[in-house]
Every structure is written in C-alpha cells, then in structure tokens.
Amino acid sequence: MPTFAGMKWVRSIAFLMLLAAFAACGDNSATVETQNFASLQTRQLQAIDSLMWQQPDSALAQIIDYMDCTDGACTVSTAHYAHLLLAELLYKNDYEQTNRAELLRAVAYYDSLCAENDDIAFLDARAHYMNGVGFYERDSVVAACAEYLKALEVMESHFDEKELIGHKARFMAMVYSHLTSLFSDLYLQEQCIFFAKAALKHYSKYGAPSWHPSWILTEIGIQHEILENLDSAEYYFQKATETLNDTNCLSYRDIASLCTYLSYRKDHNPQLALERMYGILAQAENDKEYYSRSSTIGEIFYLEKQYDSAWVYLCRIYENSQFDDIKKQAAERLLEICKTQGRDSEILEYANYLAPYANQLENHSAMRSQLIELYNTFRQKALERQYQQIIIKNSRRTVALLFGLLIFMVAIVVLFHHKDKRSLRQLKSESLGEVQNHFGENSLEHFLAEPLCQEILHSIVDKNIKRSATPADYPELVLNESQLQQLALVVNRYFGSFESQLEQRGLKSNPVLVNLCHLYLLGMDEKQTAILLNRDYSSIKRYEKKLKNAFETQENMVSFLRNHVSSI
C-alpha cells in the first residue's frame, strides 16, 4: 500500500480535532453520540466517493487518512464502505489490491442486503467488480469474468435503462470495456463485439472523453476485420476517426495505420499502402509506436512475398522490441520466412521463442470454453430479464387500458342511467295517463294499492335485472299459481272489461298471455315479467309479439297496456 507520510499526520490530527469538537458540542446520550459519529463517517465516505470519480489520486490519500484516523472505530456498514472505496482507489491509481480479505467480507455484506434494498445495489455491483479485479490480478481470468458479469447483472436487475446515468453509466461503461479487452485478448470476436457495443452505449450517457468511444469503435472494427467482415471494419474505423477531436495524437495514427492496412487488403495496392505507412512511421513518438508501424510494413512486404524487405523490418522488431505482442507477431512471420527460404539454422531460434506461446494457447482453449459458457449464461439471463420487463410493461399497459375502458364504461352507464331515468319518468307519466284514461284514474290507483300488487311491486322494484338473467337467479321472485290466480281476481274486480277485451282478441285461452297482461298493468317490463312468470326472456318477447299482432297495431297495444311502464 502506498504511503503519504508528508501529509498524513497533519490530516490525522485535523480529523481527530474535528471529532473532538463534535464530541464536546453537546450533552446528548451515548446512543445519540454514536449515531452522530456514524453519520459523520458516512458523510465523509460519501465525499471521498464523490471525489473518486474526478480525482482518484486525491481521494486515495483521503481514504488512507480516514482509515488511519478511525482505526476500527466505525460501524459495520461504514467499515465495508471504506474498504470498498480503498479497493477501488487502489485500482484507479494502478496499485495492487491489498485489502482482499476485507473486500470479500464487503461483497458478502452487500449481497445480503441487495435483494431487499435497491439503494445498496450500486455498492454491491461495485464490490463484485473489485472482487473481479482482485481475481484478475491473481491471473484467475474466469473467476474475474464471472464477477464482472455479476456486477452487470446486479445493475441491470435493479435499475431501468433510464436510471443508468451519471456515475452508474460510467461504471457500466468501465465494466463493459474491461470485458471487451478480456475477450479480445482471447480472440473471442463475437463476444468482444457485444461487450464493446454495450460499452459504447453507456459512454454516450455521461459525456466521456472522445478517445473512449473512439477506442471502442476501433476495437469493434478490429474484431470485424478478424472475422473477415471488411466493410464493417472499415465503417467502424471511419466512425472512430470521426469521433476523435484531435488528429495529431496516437489514437488517430493508430486508426490511420489500421485503415491503411485494411485498404491494402481490400484494394491490393501495396505501393499506396506502403507510402502511407512510411508517412505514419515518420510521426512515431516512442519505441512502441515505431515498432507497431514497422510491424504493419513488414506484414505488407510478407504478404507481397518480398521476404528480404519484410525480414529487415521484422528482424528489427524481434531484436529490439520489448513489447511481447509485437515481438511475437514478428517471430511468427520470421519463422515462416525461414521455412520458405530454407534458413534451417535460424528456424530453431524462433521456434523456441514461440513454444511457450503455443502452450499458452492450449491453456487458453479451456479458458475460452469457460468464458463462452459464462457469456452465454449472462446473455440468457439478460434476455429473460428483458422478456419479464416486456411482460410487466405489457401488463401495466393492459391494466391501464382496462382501467381507462372501465372508467369510460362507467361514465357511459351513468350517462345513460340518468337519461333512462328521465325517459322512464316521462314514460311513467305518459303510460299512467293512458291507462288512467282507459280504465279510470281511481280504479288504477286502488288496484295498485292492493296488498298483493304492493307485495309484487316491492319484491322487484330494487332488483337490477339484466336481460341475460334467468328465473334461477331470482327464485324468490317467481310467482306461484296461487299468486297468479289471486292477481287475476284483483284485476277482474277493478277492470271488469279487461277480461272481455282479451277474449275478443283471442287471448283469453292462453294463460301465459293473460298473466303477462296482468303484470303489464303493474308496470312491469319484459325482463321483470320473465322472472315473475318463470320464463326466459326470449319466450316473453315471443308472447309480446303475439300481443302486438292481436291488437293489430303497436299504438293500439300501447294504449291498452303500456309494456314499458316502470314499477310504481
């Protein structure tokens, strides 16, 4: 762990004096003092956390001072938070992770709270990422990848896309970028492209420096070139160039070199490609850049079978370069040239140099399989989450639509109910007037006041009977034979001419029609009469049609017995 002896003791004393001042300011109980102390620690850690995203070097100095000052005098939550920040800041300042055991405890702590507390999710994801960094530093690539993917899973499970902004977007871009590099190193092109595109999406959310998305676009282009998707590679190289603000920088020259080699592969114009590469080589600012450009020039000469020219550039790289990736590529081409030109005495040197890489490639084979399996599992879970989110969104949309329709239907029902009530009141007035004119006002009033009539009216007046209802739904309302006979006697007592008029129209012989007319005198409608007479609605409508035919015209029937008079 790095030390900052020049400043640490000053900061430590200042912090202790601040704590002492807080302790002396009040007469609160020990519990309140403990709570205030914990709150103070949390605020200080949050301040360090905020600083970390902008000035990681200053934040590292502060977290070291904080941990020296507290010396274990902190709550469980603040202790885990502090060790998470320490691990992150060591990583951001290119130091090795030194608090591995404490970080693992922080991972377990945040995991235990994450499922029930979304506020912890971001810390949990960061803890898993830093756990992955620890594995990677110890060459446990598969375990590191599993932790990186776990960090992404936590974030994507707890936050909607619109919430992944600011520091969260920056974190997501960092994790996806790290996975891009990891899968690129192991030549897993399709997976690398997926992670790179995901990183690119998050870079756009927090205003990343232009070279960040440019690098990702370049990486996507490289993977497409390896897959022989040359047009796609050219597209992404072009986008990477357009993203950069500065054309006089290493990133721009890297892309220019890639574009030149790609153009050579597509157009097969070695002279033009070499001229461009010589110009880029002349701009090299350090050894690594120089040898990288030389490698491209040597590759073009090799592919053109100009082995002597290729040998000059490739030997220079092999003999002088300290960069393993460039030196390995040069050795591979030099070995092929030796075989082609019969330089048997030199073959062994290059073969011996490349032998460890061959063993490494074998070891990577199993690792690649494990990483592909991790990737497939991650993608499957992501697709399942997306599917569940679609179901939830569709369900919410359906509920909202149904709720809206329900409100609309209720409004329509209320509107028509008020309209029907007005119409029924008007009908009642008109019907009563017509019946009163036919039978006499006193006769109708006394008829409706009869106990049996009142009993029937009161039994059904409050029932909201629907057209689809059956007598089985209202068995208590069905009139028995005795009640129907008593109703006939009451009708004959008040309306002696009623029976004779039914007989004149040939209706007297059908008891159902007679009973129907009796109920119409009470002001019943078709739905009510269907229940009272233990009939279905359709049969009542058929009997009503017979009544209409018997009275010849609708007007005659209405004037005789108004079938839509409301209950009185």
Nearest of 556, 516, 509 to residue 540 by alpha carbon: 516
Quick one: which H or E segment has residue 568?
A: none
The predicted-structure confidence for 218-256, as pLDDT tens digits, reads as follows 999 999 999 999 999 999 999 999 999 888 899 999 999
Q: What is the pLDDT of residue 476?
A: 84
Q: For residue 215, what pLDDT is reported?
A: 95
> Is it the case that residue 21 has pLDDT exceeding 50?
no
The whole-angstrom separation of Cα 412 and Cα 260 is 72
Report pLDDT for 450. Answer: 87
Q: What does the block give as tokens for 465?
A: 């009977």
What is the helix (H) or strand (E) element at residue 285, kind and residue range? none
294 near 286, Cβ under 8 Å?
no
Give the pLDDT confidence score for residue 436 in this predicted structure: 46
Whether residue 226 contacts residue 261, with contact meaning beta carbons closer than 8 Å, is answered with: no
Q: What is the mean pLDDT of residues 137-157?
A: 95
pLDDT of 362: 67
Residue 407's pLDDT is what?
A: 86
Contact between 298 and 310 (Cβ < 8 Å): yes
Instruction: Evaluate whether 395 touches 530 at the Cβ level (below 8 Å).
Output: no
Hey, is 412 helix, strand or coil?
Answer: helix
Asked if pLDDT for residue 46 goes beyond 80, the answer is yes
- Kindly state the helix (H) or strand (E) to which residue 341 belongs, with its residue range: helix 324-341
502 alpha carbon, distance to own chain's centre: 74
Residue 358 — pLDDT band, cuts 50, 70, 90? confident
Give the model confidence (pLDDT) of 545-565 as tens digits: 887 777 766 556 656 654 333
Give percent of the chain above pLDDT 90: 47
The full length of the chain comes to 568
The residues, ordered by sequence, that sit 6+ positions from 188 with a Cβ below 8 Å of its Cβ are: 368, 371, 372, 375
Burial group, residue 546, by CB count within 10 angstroms (0-12, 13-18, 19+): middle
Per residue in 434-471, pLDDT tens? Answer: 444 444 445 677 788 888 888 888 888 778 888 888 88
Tell me which of 7 and 83 has the higher pLDDT: 83
Kindly tell me if the per-residue pLDDT of 153 is higher than 60.
Answer: yes
Q: Which whole number is the average pLDDT over 195-216?
A: 92
Q: Diameter of the chain by CA atoms?
A: 137
Least reliable range by pLDDT among 89-103, 194-208, 364-378, 544-558: 544-558
CA angle 12, 15, 20 (to 5 degrees): 125
Give the range among 266-270, 352-356, 424-428, 445-449 with minimum mean pLDDT: 424-428
* Dist CA 438 CA 435 (whole Å): 5
Residue 79 parent element (H or E): helix 76-92
Phi and psi angles of residue 449, each rounded to the nearest 5 degrees, phi first: -80, -10
Amino acid making up residue 174: M
> How far apart, in whole angstroms, are the C-alpha atoms of residue 255 and residue 272?
17
- Cβ contact 494:440 at 8 Å: no
Q: What are phi and psi of 98, to 5 degrees?
A: -110, -10
Inform me whether the pLDDT recorded for 155 exceeds 60: yes
pLDDT reading at 480 higher than 80: yes
Encode pLDDT of 105-117 as tens digits.
999 999 998 877 7
**Is residue 402 predicted with pLDDT exceeding 70?**
yes
Q: Which of 227, 291, 233 is nearest to 261 (CA)?
A: 233
Q: Is the pLDDT of residue 131 over 70?
A: yes
Instruction: For residue 31, name the pLDDT band (cuts at 50, 70, 90).
Output: very low
Greater pLDDT, 418 or 159: 159
Q: Are 452 and 508 in contact (CB under 8 A)?
A: no
Each residue's pLDDT tens digit, 538-547: 888 888 888 7
Which of 28-32, 70-74, 316-320 is the most confident on average?
Answer: 316-320
- Dihedral of alpha carbons 315, 317, 321, 323, sign: negative
Q: Which two tokens stand for residue 469?
A: 């209802």
Question: Structure tokens of 488?
Answer: 């006939």
Specify whether the CB–CB gap between 532 and 477 falls below 8 A. Answer: yes
The position carrying tokens 């009642």 is: 428
Taking a C-beta distance cutoff of 8 angstroms, is the pair 72, 22 a contact? no
Query: Is a pLDDT exceeding 60 seen at residue 389?
Result: yes
pLDDT at site 4: 36
Ranges 351-355, 395-399, 449-453: which has the least confidence: 395-399
Question: Residue 149 and residue 141: Cα distance in Å, rounded?
Answer: 12
Provide the percentage of residues in the chain whose pLDDT is more than 70: 83
Tokens of 86: 């320490």
Q: What was the pLDDT predicted at 17?
A: 37
> What string of DSSP letters covers 191-225?
HHHHHHHHHHHHHTTTT--THHHHHHHHHHHHHHH
Residue-wise pLDDT for 249-303, tens only, equals 999 999 999 999 999 999 999 999 999 999 999 999 999 999 999 999 999 999 9
Number of Cα atoms under 13 Å in the Cβ half of residue 126: 25
pLDDT score for 435: 42
- With beta carbons less than 8 A apart as the criterion, state whether 561 and 427 touch: no
Residue 37: φ, ψ to 5°: -65, -45
Residue appearing with tokens 């030549």: 187
pLDDT, residue 404, reads: 80
Mean pLDDT, the chain, whole residue set = 83
Distance separating alpha carbons of residues 68 and 489, to the nearest angstrom: 107
Render pLDDT for 503-550 as a digit per residue (tens, 0 to 9): 777 766 678 888 888 888 888 888 888 888 988 888 888 888 887 777
- pLDDT (tens digit per residue) in 63-106: 999 988 877 677 889 999 999 999 999 999 999 999 999 999 99
pLDDT at residue 262, as a whole number: 95
Output the CA angle 299-302-305, nearest 5 degrees.
155
Q: Residues with Cβ < 8 Å from 416, sequence gap 6 or more?
A: none
pLDDT band at 214 (very low <50, low <70, confident <90, very high): very high
pLDDT band for 7, please (50, 70, 90 cuts). Answer: very low
Whole-angstrom Cα distance, residue 443 to residue 237?
A: 101
C-alpha distances in Å from residue 157, one per residue of 11, 148, 188, 381: 40, 14, 26, 10
258 close to 277: Cβ distance less than 8 angstroms: no
pLDDT of residue 125: 96
pLDDT for 495: 74
Q: What is the SS3 assignment for 248?
A: coil
Average pLDDT over residues 404-427: 67
